[in-house]
């Protein structure tokens, strides 16, 4: 006899078959596949910021063929420092020289010198030379355009051997102006502006220049003629100009650029 008030209406349980097992596996596989591929996307070198160092004593660099070659260009290819995410590509750094007025290139312009310990920075520090012969004034300038192969940030390097003698007085300007700079204390003045020296020039106006007591030129290893330049950079920052000129009578002059450090995406 059936029990009164019974509410047991459960569906009959179907037996497990090969078809139902396969169908269950098919629904779960895409979830596993998505989970497996997600870390690879997150670790893409194109989405990772790397540190780079253009080391003039180590980094492969091809200087211009000669002083009169046009375009007058030297190119380095810089690889990232170890980051833990493989696949990052090297980045090119190009230095291209153009001349204004009566300026000519001189000596080993845009070549890496064998001198080590430049600017008193580190014992092994070498530099790329910028050498000109010109008449004083803004109209006679050698411009070095530094171009990076893709956007960069946190760019830093030093200008070394800012000095003066009877036939030159170095001036170094930048366009755009640096985000920041650190000058040799008491012997370097200016802010890197591309303007003629005002009559009442101060330590915080005009181009970078040597203002120490030495009037016979500094040695390349001296720290008295050094200014370290920084650019914050960003998603659209790929180049800047360094303008090298003099305020003295015609004569050969020269400075050095130290190693460059900067950050960039891996591709």
Question: Is 136 within the bounds of a domain?
Answer: yes
Task: Note the pLDDT of residue 232.
Answer: 99
Task: Note the pLDDT of residue 84.
Answer: 65
Q: Is the dihedral of CA 120, 124, 128, 130 positive or negative?
A: positive
Task: Note the pLDDT of residue 18.
Answer: 45
- Per-residue pLDDT tens, the chain, 267 aa: give them: 444 444 444 555 555 554 454 444 444 445 444 444 444 445 788 999 999 999 999 999 999 999 999 999 999 999 998 776 788 999 999 999 999 999 999 999 999 999 999 999 999 999 999 999 988 889 999 999 999 999 999 999 999 999 999 999 999 999 999 999 999 999 999 999 998 887 778 899 999 999 999 999 999 999 999 999 999 999 999 999 999 999 987 889 999 999 999 999 999
Task: Note the pLDDT of residue 51.
Answer: 96
pTM, 2 dp:
0.84
Structure tokens at 174: 């930048």
Task: Note the pLDDT of residue 13.
Answer: 54
Q: What is d(CA 155, CA 152) in angstroms, rounded to the nearest whole number?
A: 7
Structural domain for 59, as ranges: 45-265
Label residue 180 exposed, middle or buried (CB < 10 Å: 0-12, 13-18, 19+): exposed
Q: Evaluate whether 127 touches 234 at the Cβ level (below 8 Å).
A: no
Question: Is 235 within the bounds of a domain?
Answer: yes
Question: Is 257 within the bounds of a domain?
Answer: yes
Task: Note the pLDDT of residue 196.
Answer: 84
Task: Note the pLDDT of residue 17.
Answer: 53
Question: Is 238 within the bounds of a domain?
Answer: yes
Q: Is the dihedral of CA 95, 197, 208, 262 positive or negative?
A: negative
Closest CA to 211 of 184, 243, 249, 248: 184
Task: Note the pLDDT of residue 85.
Answer: 75
Question: Is 38 within the bounds of a domain?
Answer: no
Question: Is 35 within the bounds of a domain?
Answer: no
Question: Is 39 within the bounds of a domain?
Answer: no
- From residue 240, how far is each of 20, 174, 183, 225, 260 by CA, in Å? 66, 7, 19, 22, 13
Question: Is 34 within the bounds of a domain?
Answer: no
The owner of tokens 């956007």 is 151
Count structural domains, the chain. Answer: 1
Closest CA to 193 of 225, 229, 218, 145: 229
């Amino acid at each position: 006899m059936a029990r009164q008030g019974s509410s047991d209406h459960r569906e009959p349980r179907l037996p497990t078959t090969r078809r139902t097992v396969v169908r269950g596996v098919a629904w779960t596989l895409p979830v596993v596949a998505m989970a497996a591929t997600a870390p690879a996307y997150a670790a893409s070198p194109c989405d990772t910021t790397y540190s780079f160092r253009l080391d003039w004593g180590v980094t492969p660099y091809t200087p211009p063929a000669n002083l009169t070659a046009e375009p007058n260009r030297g190119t380095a290819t810089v690889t990232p420092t170890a980051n833990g995410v493989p696949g990052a590509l090297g980045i090119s750094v190009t230095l291209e020289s153009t001349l204004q007025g009566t300026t000519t290139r001189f000596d080993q312009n845009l070549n890496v010198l064998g001198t080590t310990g430049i600017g008193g920075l580190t014992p092994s520090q070498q530099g790329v030379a910028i050498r000109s012969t010109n008449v004083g004034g803004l109209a006679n300038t050698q411009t070095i355009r530094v171009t990076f192969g893709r956007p960069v940030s946190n760019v830093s390097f030093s200008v070394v051997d800012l000095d003066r003698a009877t036939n030159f007085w170095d001036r170094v300007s930048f366009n755009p102006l640096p985000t920041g700079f650190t000058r040799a204390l008491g012997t370097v003045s200016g802010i890197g502006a591309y303007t003629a020296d005002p009559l009442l020039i101060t330590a915080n106006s005009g181009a970078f220049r040597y203002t120490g007591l030495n009037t016979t030129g500094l040695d390349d290893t001296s720290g008295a003629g050094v200014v370290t330049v920084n650019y914050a950079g960003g998603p659209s920052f790929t180049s800047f100009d360094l303008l090298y000129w003099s305020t003295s009578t015609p004569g050969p002059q020269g400075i050095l650029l130290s190693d460059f450090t900067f950050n960039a995406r891996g591709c």
